[in-house]
Amino acid sequence: MNPMQRKKDRIDALVGGHPGDGDIPDAGQVSESGGLSLIGSAWLRLRRNPVFLVGAAITILFVLVALFAPLLAPHNGTTKYLIDQVTPDTPIPPSQKGFPLGGDDQGRDFLSRLILGSRQTLIVGVLATLAGLFGGLVLGTIAGSMGGWVDSVVMRIVDVMLSLPSLVLALAVATLFGKPSQWTLIIAISIVQVPIFARLLRGSMLTQRASDHVLAARALGVKPIAITFRHMLPNSLGPVLVQATLVLATAIIEAAALSFLGLGNPDDSSAEWGQMLGKAQQLFDISPHVAFWPAGCIVVVAFGFTLMGESLREALDPRNRR
């Protein structure tokens, strides 16, 4: 099975557990056996799931550090405190009092830049995911609600985008802009995420089109646009929003990869983990810790989002209800 088919099958599998699919109860429907709604029973499962708790703890810690980075950073991230210790023989100032992780090749406090870099990483990841989610919602709504040749045209475009490896597509889009910047990263990564959300939402909306409440609304003469935005779209958003949690982890990794390749923000004074990792490759033989810390932060944060997203997806899947 080729990578494109595996990617499409995974997205379609997410749709299969969506509320409203055949005998699967809707999100707000009360269970006859347990007396709990789907969301209520999902929360009970999440509270007892150690995988979710670990993922949520990592994610919350990362978000708090990013939000309060200027307060948590012990020093200014742009001031060259240790520049007098930077020599051809020792390009990286070592760990010392007041600077537990030492400095970078410009004499700036490494720990402060690591903390401040979390904010840029979070901004790129969140904005890219939101932009991709918006684009996917537009295409998925058009395809799922209109059907026919419109659905075919939109889905062929989506399939072409899905057939390309995401990082290669992001790299191609970022290269087209010519001038690297933070906004280049956001646009490139969001375009990569659009087909994922579009295909997922379109599948959910097709399921909703055959549901009883939509058929009843049609029989009562409700206008198609009202059926789309009042009945189909709200009931189709669940798996799309859960997928956004998983996509956020991918967006952070892709942003770091593009920054590593020099396609991110060229302003060296603004710390970002991928940018720090890219600069570290020249100093890896002398001071491997300058690559270890930003790489470790990227891996841990992506791991946290992935654990939380997978747990949410499994908990909200009605087929897992007991």
pLDDT single digits (tens) 109-151: 999 999 999 988 888 888 999 999 999 999 999 988 888 899 8
- Distance, in Å, from the CA atom of 68 to the CA atom of 115, rounded to the nearest integer, reads 9
Mean pLDDT by 10 residues, the chain (322 residues): 66 56 44 58 80 92 93 90 85 88 89 91 89 92 88 90 83 81 87 90 86 86 87 83 82 84 80 86 83 92 89 72 52
What's residue 180's pLDDT? 79
What the block records as the tokens of 72 is: 């948590």
- Distance, in Å, from the CA atom of 68 to the CA atom of 140, rounded to the nearest integer, reads 36
What's residue 18's pLDDT? 45
Residues 233-252 as b or e (16 or more Cβ within 10 Å = b):
bebbbbbbebbbbbbbbbbb
What's residue 40's pLDDT? 72
What's residue 319's pLDDT? 60
What's residue 318's pLDDT? 61
Single pTM value for the model: 0.80
> 22, exposed or middle or buried, with CB in 10 Å at 0-12, 13-18, 19+?
exposed
Domain segments of the chain as ranges: 46-83+105-316
- Distance, in Å, from the CA atom of 25 to the CA atom of 21, rounded to the nearest integer, reads 8
What's residue 95's pLDDT? 87
Tokens 């991110």 -> residue: 264
Structure letter (DSSP) for residue 232: I
Q: What rounded mean pLDDT belongs to the chain?
A: 82
Angstrom distances, CA of residue 53 to CA of 45, 78, 220, 319: 11, 36, 46, 22
What the block records as the tokens of 321 is: 């209800």
* Number of alpha carbons in the 13 Å side-chain half-sphere of residue 312: 17
Q: Three-state SS for 210? A: coil
Check if CATH label 1.10.3720.10 holds for domain 46-83+105-316: yes
